[in-house]
Amino acid sequence: MAKVILKLGAGVSTDIIYPGRFMATVLPNETPRYTFADLAINKKLNAGEIAAGSIIVAEKNFGCGSSREQAASCLKGWELTIIAHDFARIFLQNAINLGLGVINCPTIEASEGDELVIENGKIVNKTTNKSFAIVPLPKARQAIIDAGGLMPYTRSLILHKT
Amino acid sequence: MGMTLAEKILAQATGQASVKVGDVVEPGVGLAMSHENAALVINQFNEIYKETGLAAKVWEASKIAIIFDHRVPAESPKTATNQKKIREFVAKQGITKFHDIRGDEGGICHQILPENGYVLPGSVIVGTDSHTTTHGALGAFAFGIGATEMASVWVLGRVLNVEVPGTIKVSFNGHLPKGVYPKDLILFLIGKISAEGANFKVFEFHGEVIRRMPTSGRLTICNMAVEAGATAGLVPPDKETLRYLKQDAGVTGKIDVFGPDPDAVYEQTIEIDVSQLSPQIAFPHTVDNVKPIKEAEGIPIQQIVVGSCTNGRLDDLEIIAKTLKGKKIAANVRMLVFPASFRIYLQALKKGYIEDIVKAGAVMMNPGCGPCLGVHQGALADGDKALATTNRNFKGRMGNPDAEVYLCSPATAAASALTGVISDPRKQ
């Protein structure tokens, strides 16, 4: 069971997730401090008030805009899971490549503070007792997820000379 | 069954006779482009090789391009140090398509690539920048990827696990009215289809308007394909493509040119008659919040930004210079102009455009991305409204979440510079 710590609308851009003015910071261990830099959640994250595994719920086209990988690495740094109606392409691929938890759920209904359980292809909102079907990620992505991310996946390819 | 242009390119890049939508392919890469975020690519590249006992060597140094453009000249010691680290990597790996902070060969990556002949029709191009879609203007399948994915490309020379996307055919027909430009066409399309309307799809641009359009306008249109979520935006190459490659980009030798099959299967077809279009404005804070200019006229603006990988080319500067020549921009407006490359800067200088622009009160800046994404110069004040020929107007985009950005064509920007309010270029 994990708590929804932030509920966002449609079209959350990478400029909101990780504003351009922090783009000179690139390393995955340095990006988390600027997560949602212009939103109140930033202070709570940096104050250690958000538990790992907490959930952000959003609507359509989460992560639209720039290809900046900081937008995925900063969320990964806090071990957050993103449930959205759907995701923008580059963000989704970056998330999978880095092992950030992303879940497609076009019907999700949840408010901040709700407790969710993710199981057997669905999300159960324990607060409202409603459940919502998960849309599986494209099969092509699964091999990368199974390998633990793109870096170990590519490493295994060069070690096995494919 | 016939193939779309994207399908034909992906088939060729994987050595197959054909591919179809949904197939998972691993296309060989013709060009892999990065800018300052190469610093992160290098970090991930070295991580991949860590404890493998193998030497960390890129697959083919001549197919990697690195262009400094996002924060040039460096705005901070941190950026300067990242740039230094990248220079060292470039030298060590023997990367030749490297464009440093220089007046003779520098500029914005999405102009440097085409103008140096690095973009060839029918090739697969990846870039660690979402606006890599730009290069579809020359008939390449070009798309944005993240830094870790680029590190994997540097190792393997191919992109892993790509699903062949479906194609949306867009035809622009009719005659462009006075005051309406390629930027207005792509803004109109994004407004019509929405910011996620082409997610995981490809645009293929057709119609007499595209056929008559010079490469500069096609670059503008393909540049913003990603703002509708498209993986790529392609113009089937034609005579104009060959003219540009040979005359402007200095490509010598045989250029292999092919378009989609006549019986290609499209997921969706969009027909747009441009004859009745008016100049378009994308209102804050989403690129698909597009309205005709009559709904924006009279909105006071404090900053105008002209340039970027979208609209910083010579014909864009020509429009600005001709409108401003012998006049003054409004007293309450700051106008920043940054050409897409130093080659364009010098051409504009020769033609006298720079003098006209500066004497009117605008500030000429060096080519770069800076103001567009709010990382370097041109930040907005709280409550400011900016009018820009750039490609994004997300909240916080120009460095301040308490400001607003409106997007438009260079003609609309120039007309508005003279009045200090958003103005219709057709009424000049």
- The residue behind tokens 């591919």 is B19
Is B284 within 8 Å of chain A by CB?
no
For all residues of chain B together, what is the average pLDDT?
A: 97
B79 in A contact zone (CB under 8 Å): yes
Dmax over CA atoms of chain A, in Å, equals: 51
Tens-place pLDDT, residues A124-146: 999 999 999 999 987 778 889 88
Chain centre to alpha carbon of residue B90: 24
Instruction: Single out the residue of B240, B210, B409, B186 nearest to residue B318, CA to CA.
Output: B409
The reply to whether A138 touches chain B by the CB within 8 Å rule is yes
Is B308 touching A (CB cutoff 8 A)?
no
Bridge-partner residues for B291, per DSSP?
Answer: B281
For residue A29, pLDDT over 90 is answered with yes
Q: Are residues B344 and B261 in the same domain?
A: no
Q: For the residues B232-251, what does the mean pLDDT come to? A: 98
- B27 plus B56 within the same structural domain: yes
B149 touching chain A per CB within 8 A: yes
Q: Which residue has the tokens 């309450």?
A: B332
Size of interface A-B (CB pairs under 8 A): 147
| Ramachandran category for residue B57: left, alpha or beta (phi over 0 → left; psi -120 to 50 → alpha) | beta
DSSP for A27-38, please give it: -TTTSGGGTTTT
pLDDT of B67 reads 98
The verdict on a CB contact (< 8 Å) between A26 and B37 is yes
Which of B39, B163, B396 lies at the smallest CB-CB distance from A19? B396
| pLDDT tens digits, B53-81 | 999 999 999 999 999 999 999 999 999 99
CATH number at residue B210: 3.30.499.10
Domains in chain B: how many in total?
A: 2
What interface predicted TM-score (ipTM) does this complex get? 0.96
Q: Do the Cβ atoms of B43 and A67 come within 8 Å?
A: no
CB B231 within 8 A of CB B4: no
Task: Give the per-residue pLDDT at A52.
Answer: 96
Confidence of residue B348 (pLDDT cuts 50, 70, 90): very high
Any bridge partners for residue A82, and if so which? A56, A102
Any A CB within 8 A of B46 CB: no
Q: Kindly tell me the sign of the dihedral angle through the C-alpha atoms of B41, B64, B183, B227.
A: negative
Cα separation, B166 vs A76, whole angstroms: 30
Position A143 scores a pLDDT of 84
**Strand ranges for B266-384 from DSSP E:** 268-273, 280-282, 290-292, 303-307, 334-338, 363-364
The CA distance from A99 to A142, in Å, is 11
Domain match, B27 and B155 both: yes
Q: Residue B107 pairs with which residues in a beta bridge?
A: B341
Q: Is the pLDDT assigned to residue B171 strictly greater than 60?
A: yes
CATH T-level topology, domain A2-135: Aconitase; domain 4 (3.20.19)
Instruction: Record the tokens describing residue B200, joined without a space.
Output: 């995981």
Mutate to test the interface with B, among A18, A59, A66, A91 (most CBs of B within 10 A): A66
DSSP letter string, B90-102? HHHHT--EEE-S-
Inter-chain residue contact B152 with A151, CB threshold 8 Å: yes
Task: Please tell me the predicted confidence (pLDDT) of residue A141.
Answer: 85
Average pLDDT on A45-63 reads: 97
Q: Inspect the interface and report whether the beta carbons of A69 and B146 lie closer than 8 Å.
A: yes
**Mutation to test the A interface, candidates B40, B109, B132, B150, most A Cβ within 10 Å:** B40
Give yes or no: residues B106 and B54 share one domain: yes
Provide the shortest C-alpha distance from residue A126 to chain B (in Å): 31
| pLDDT > 90? residue B1 | no
Q: Do A26 and B196 touch (CB under 8 A)?
A: no
Pair B239, B137 in one domain: yes
- Cβ B414 vs Cβ B324: under 8 Å: yes
Q: Where are the domains of chain A?
A: 2-135
Note whether A13 contacts B52, CB cutoff 8 Å. no
Once rounded to an integer, what is the mean pLDDT over residues B38-52?
Answer: 96
pTM of the model: 0.97
- Nearest CB to B156; choose among A15, A26, A157: A157
Task: Quote the domain boundaries for residue B381.
Answer: 280-427
Cα(A84)–Cα(A110) distance, rounded to whole angstroms? 11
A85 touches chain B (CB under 8 A): no
Q: Residue A158 is nearest to which of B36, B52, B375, comparing CB atoms?
A: B52
Indicate if B153 and B48 belong to the same structural domain. Answer: yes
User: CA-based Rg of chain B, rounded to a whole angstrom?
Assistant: 21
CA distances from B198 to A120, B78, B232, B282 (A): 30, 37, 10, 18
Distance CA B180, CA B194 (A): 21
Q: Check CB contact under 8 Å for B48 and A154.
A: yes
Helix/strand/coil (H, E, C) string of A58-90? Answer: ECCCECECCCCCHHHHHHHHCCCEEEECCECHH
Per the structure block, which two tokens stand in for B223?
């540049």
pLDDT in tens, B183-222: 999 999 999 999 999 999 999 999 999 999 999 999 999 9
Q: Quick one: B308 and B390 in the same domain?
A: yes
* Cα B240 to Cα B165, B235, B252, B327, distances in angstroms: 27, 11, 16, 35
B289 touches chain A (CB under 8 A): no
Share of chain A above pLDDT 90, in %: 90
Chain A residues closer than 8 Å to B49 by CB: 155, 158
Q: Decide if A56 contacts A8 (C-beta within 8 A).
A: yes
- pLDDT value of position B128: 98
Mean pLDDT for the stretch of residues B281-309: 98
Which of B78, B130, B395 is facing A24, going by the closest CB pair?
B78
Region B24-33: mean pLDDT is 97
Task: Assess whether B289 and B261 both reside in one domain.
Answer: no
Q: What is the pLDDT of residue A162?
A: 52
pLDDT of residue B428: 81
Question: With 70 as the cut, is the pLDDT of residue B180 above it?
Answer: yes
| Claim to verify: residue B156 and residue B304 sit in the same structural domain | no
Together in a domain, B347 and B421: yes
